[in-house]
Amino acid sequence: MTLIEARDWYRDSLKTEYSNAEIDFYFKALLTDCFQWQPTQLALEPKRELESKELILIQEAQDKLLKRYPLQYITGWAHFRSLKLKVDQRVLIPRPETEELVDWILEDCSKHKDGPKELLDMGTGSGCIAIALAKENPQLSVSALDQEKSIIDLARENAHQNKVKVEFFQQNLLQMDSLKRSFDMIVSNPPYVTVEEKKEMKSNVLDHEPHKALFVPDNDPLIFYRKILEFATGQLLPKGSIYFEINPLFIDELCSLIQQFDYTICKRMDIFGKERMLRLTK
């Protein structure tokens, strides 16, 4: 099978699930992320014969696309800001909204150039936030935690691949003891989707992404934020700040909770116009 024949087979066999534009995008992503080819390869060499191992990969990917696997779990790579991160079903696929949270922190750091700062990312997953911050601001000394060793292993591998130093450690954030260090900044994009909201979620997310990264109990949707705020009481330096990605549905309840901890709250919308981020300062 040639490259162009494979693309046409994709267009034909996947047309019940995706638009042509989506299929072409996925096909190109497979070529670049799995084979490390140029995005222009299809235009340059449409009649190139696929080798048998390439064909197998293309067939396996087609099968997974039909089953609505997210593209990033098929290629094994996610792009986050300037980073290429290894991802699999251990971790959430980093979202564009989270890139904006990183933007906000970097903007604030550039306004207050007062030396090195200690930052902690709570619930790091692929390591996207921690690694992007460490890469883009070398003044930050970044630590990050997650609940399982296998997740920490993946995040470490991503930091290594992207040539940055982040101190990762395994820790259940719902059972945090105090740490020896204090922090200038704490950032978290914790699980924040209620079980009730499952009904409205797309099957590619629901069936394939880790539920431990997504869901919180309906009867306590702010559980992670509360724990982080309690932890910060002892570990955040007096002029420190906290950055949260949030569920816009619970913004009012969350702001009431935060006020009990005596912070000034600044809200920010994401590219989709939803109130998605909070910055807390004293």
Note the residues at the interface with ligand SAM (CB under 6 A). 91-92, 94, 98, 123-126, 128-129, 146-147, 151, 172-174, 189-191, 212-213
CB-based contact 72:193 (threshold 8 Å): no
What percent helix, strand, coil does the chain show, rounded to 5?
A: 45, 20, 30
Which of 199, 185, 108 shows the shortest CA–CA distance to 141?
185
Measured from the Cβ of residue 81, the count of other Cβ atoms closer than 10 Å reads 19
CB-based contact 82:134 (threshold 8 Å): no
Q: Hunting for tokens 């024949």 — which residue is that?
A: 5
Q: What are phi and psi of 83, to 5 degrees?
A: -95, 150
Q: How far apart are the first and last CA of the chain?
A: 63
- Tokens matching residue 79: 């792009």
